[in-house]
């Protein structure tokens, strides 16, 4: 007898309200954190420095929020999207609590909506996913939509268990910010505090990242993303719209954020929220990714030590961010999701991100 299991689900296997407790259970260790840090080179000080973390009354350096997002998204592939045609959108991503090395994490997803297409051969599934620790903390919560083929898998059980809470019910911020004006660190901090960021500014970030042939597959499997589109060349030849392995979108997300970090997040304290995200085009090994940011809004008072800054963040491939901005101007930051025409072929990622960013310490006012 030959048994050929299939994971994920087809459209007919989803029911609104069903909750899937994903089987992956991973203890995040220093090795995983070190590899993530080496792969993404993010400049946000809190995720790199234990001294900064303790100054903000955290017990240790926290896990990078996008590491948590990637774990939650990857874990969910087993039950939600291993049969998916494409990931369509990130609707809302939040980080209610901090994770730390040694935490054991699992994830669960609840089906919010199932919408068949008019053609009947596919449909859109909307889920909410939580990444949680064994002691009950929620490290990441997000909603996303995936395009799923029609049909049913005979061996996929119905979901069960309590649904995930709405994002509005979750805690907003896991750290204390009262002492953030006096954070320890080297004499020279990264430029651009909250008051330096003005709505309408566009940053064409200078560094790019060329995706290595084995690099993206190693990171995909480290995170437990089981979609063969990302690491199985034979599968990709017959099932990929490009006939080649496609880089897992969560990695593109993290690289674009990291490429922007020195210019806009070097004084950030926490990633508050990401929303309206999509991957308008795919990335393959050998492609070079660049990032550009546009400041959309700043919420801050001169008496506050911090402010909330919202950016439109985009990633482009095989063209520098400066060249993309010069070519398209503000149109580079228009949402590609839902466009019927005038799509930008080099654009591979878009999202709105809101960061909690320090104001310049009083003693440093006027310094360079």
The predicted structure's pLDDT at residue 168: 79
CB–CB of 274/305 below 8 Å? no
Contact partners, residue 19, CB within 8 Å, separation at least 6: 108, 109, 110, 111, 159, 160, 161, 162, 163, 164
Instruction: Indicate the average pLDDT of the chain.
Output: 90
**Which of the listed ranges 10-14, 140-144, 192-196 does the model predict with the highest average pLDDT?**
140-144
- How many beta carbons lie within 10 A of that of residue 326, not counting itself? 11
pTM above 0.75, yes or no: yes
Give pLDDT tens digits for 197-254.
Answer: 999 999 999 999 999 999 999 999 999 999 998 998 898 888 767 788 999 999 999 9
CB–CB of 92/142 below 8 Å? yes
CATH class of 1-155: alpha beta
Give pLDDT tens digits for 356-366.
Answer: 998 887 754 44
Phi/psi at 74 (5° precision):
-65, -45
In the chain, where the domains are located: 1-155, 190-211+247-368
Give pLDDT tens digits for 25-68.
Answer: 999 999 999 999 999 989 998 999 898 888 888 899 999 999 99
pLDDT at 161 over 80: no
Give pLDDT tens digits for 98-136.
Answer: 999 999 999 999 999 999 988 888 999 999 999 999 999
| Closest of 228, 245, 241, 240 to residue 286, by C-alpha | 245
pLDDT at 180 over 90: no
The predicted structure's pLDDT at residue 132: 96
CATH number belonging to the domain at 190-211+247-368, selected among 3.50.50.60, 3.30.930.10, 3.40.50.720, 3.10.129.10: 3.10.129.10
Helices (H), the chain: 30-40, 50-55, 65-76, 215-222, 233-239, 249-264, 321-328
CB–CB of 22/106 below 8 Å? yes
**Strand pairing class (306-317; 288-299):** antiparallel
pLDDT at 148 over 90: yes
The predicted structure's pLDDT at residue 184: 60
Residue of 47 and 338 predicted with greater confidence: 47
Angle at the Cα of 181 (from 176 to 182), degrees rounded to 5? 100
The predicted structure's pLDDT at residue 368: 45
């Amino acid at each position: 007898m030959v048994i050929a299991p299939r994971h994920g689900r087809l459209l007919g296997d989803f029911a609104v309200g069903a909750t899937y407790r994903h089987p992956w259970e991973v203890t995040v260790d220093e090795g995983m954190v070190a590899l993530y840090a080496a792969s993404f080179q993010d400049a946000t000080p809190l995720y790199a420095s234990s001294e900064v973390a303790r100054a903000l009354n955290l017990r240790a350096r926290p896990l990078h929020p996008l590491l948590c997002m990637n774990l939650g998204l990857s874990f969910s592939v087993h039950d939600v999207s291993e049969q998916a045609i494409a990931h369509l959108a990130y609707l809302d991503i939040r980080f209610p609590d901090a994770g730390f090395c040694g935490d054991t994490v699992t994830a669960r997803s609840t089906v919010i909506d199932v919408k068949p297409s008019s053609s009947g051969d596919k449909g859109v599934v909307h889920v909410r996913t939580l990444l949680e620790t064994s002691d009950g903390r929620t490290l990441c919560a997000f909603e996303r939509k995936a395009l799923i083929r029609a049909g049913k898998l005979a061996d996929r059980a119905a979901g069960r268990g309590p649904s995930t809470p709405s994002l509005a019910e979750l805690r907003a911020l896991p750290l204390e910010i009262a002492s953030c004006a006096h954070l320890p660190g080297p004499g020279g901090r990264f430029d651009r505090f909250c008051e330096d960021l003005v709505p309408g500014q566009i940053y064409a970030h200078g560094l790019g990242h060329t995706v290595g042939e084995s690099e993206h597959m190693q990171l995909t499997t480290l995170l437990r993303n089981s979609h063969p589109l990302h690491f199985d060349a034979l599968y990709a030849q017959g099932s990929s719209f490009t006939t080649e392995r496609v880089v897992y979108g969560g990695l593109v997300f993290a690289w674009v954020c990291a490429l922007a970090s020195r210019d806009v997040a070097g004084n950030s304290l926490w990633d508050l929220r990401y929303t309206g995200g999509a991957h308008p085009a795919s990335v393959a090994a050998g492609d070079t990714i660049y990032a550009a940011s546009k400041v959309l809004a700043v919420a801050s008072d001169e008496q506050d030590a911090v402010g909330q800054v919202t950016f439109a963040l985009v990633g482009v491939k095989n063209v520098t961010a400066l060249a993309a901005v010069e070519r398209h101007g503000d149109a580079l930051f228009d949402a590609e999701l839902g466009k019927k025409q005038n799509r930008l072929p080099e654009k591979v990622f878009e999202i709105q991100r809101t960061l909690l960013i320090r104001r310049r310490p009083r003693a440093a006012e006027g310094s360079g």
